[in-house]
Amino acid sequence: MTHELRTAVATDTGLVREHNEDSVYVRPDLQAVADGMGGHEHGEVASAIAVNVLAAWRGDLGPAVAEIARRLDAEAPQGAGTTLTAMRWEGLAFQLAHIGDSRAYLLREGELRQISHDHTMVQALVDAGRMTPEEALVHPRRAYVLRALQSGNSHDPDLSWHQALIGDRYLLCSDGLTDYAHQEDIHDILLSTEDGTEAAWQLIALANENGGPDNITCVITDVAKKKWWQR
């Protein structure tokens, strides 16, 4: 293998909420962010179920998401739900599973682009040409999620395969970052801060500087060339 994945994680309750309903899981071949919904305890339970299933899972993420939905129905309070954005690696290829409004970004050759698609009311209006992306950023219901994993009412995720390149940097994050930080500022931090852990905490500080009203979770994965002396 000529490459390695270097992953950094940071999560924070923010400045307003008392509890962190985000859950995060990483291992060498998998990174995942889940943002719980349904109120304190309900959201925490749902996001924890999601990452606990992934922690024990090997292989395709489609059946894993179906198992999360089954576990939510069996174990979570009615209405408890979670987003999920996860990357599973096979060499330089990865499978992306996504549902909800957490996000996946790719920084490649200095350009940052979102590789997940928000399952929100405002994104549906943007897709239909009834709202501009700029209007969506400040819409009071921008956090209204249309698709999620939810006890009694789960939806199907988006599943896709992508090819990574050495030098790529990937960001998974909850909406506690993207609802309160401009993409240009996220880009600048990811581009200018080489250390992944430092970059992740800078992103959290950015959201908190803008009020920090939500939980914030960031996972940064760098696709690096393996040093010749590493085995």
Predicted confidence (pLDDT) per residue in 182-214, tens digit: 999 999 999 999 999 999 999 999 999 999 999
Identify whether the C-beta of residue 105 lies closer than 8 Å to the C-beta of residue 186. Answer: yes
pLDDT-derived band at 2, boundaries 50, 70, 90? confident
pLDDT at 104: 99
Q: Is the pLDDT of residue 17 over 70?
A: yes
pLDDT tens per residue across span 33-85:
999 998 767 999 999 999 999 999 999 999 999 999 999 999 999 889 999 99
Instruction: Note the pTM of the prediction, 2 decimals.
Output: 0.95
Q: Between helices 196-209 and 183-192, what is the axis angle to 10°? A: 150
pLDDT at 181: 94
Q: Cα(first)–Cα(last) distance of the chain, in Å?
A: 9
Question: How many degrees, rounded to 5, is the angle at CA 167 between CA 163 and CA 170?
Answer: 65
Cα dihedral: 212, 180, 151, 62 (round 10): -130
As a whole number, mean pLDDT of residues 148-175 equals: 97
pLDDT tens per residue across span 108-150:
999 999 999 999 999 999 999 999 988 888 888 887 899 999 9
> Phi-psi bin for 109: left (phi > 0), alpha (psi -120 to 50), beta?
left
Q: Which domains does the chain have, with CATH numbers?
A: 3-225 (3.60.40.10)
CA atoms of 89 and 152, how far apart (whole Å): 30
As a whole number, mean pLDDT of residues 1-9 equals: 93
Residue 182 CB partners (closer than 8 Å, separation 6+) = none
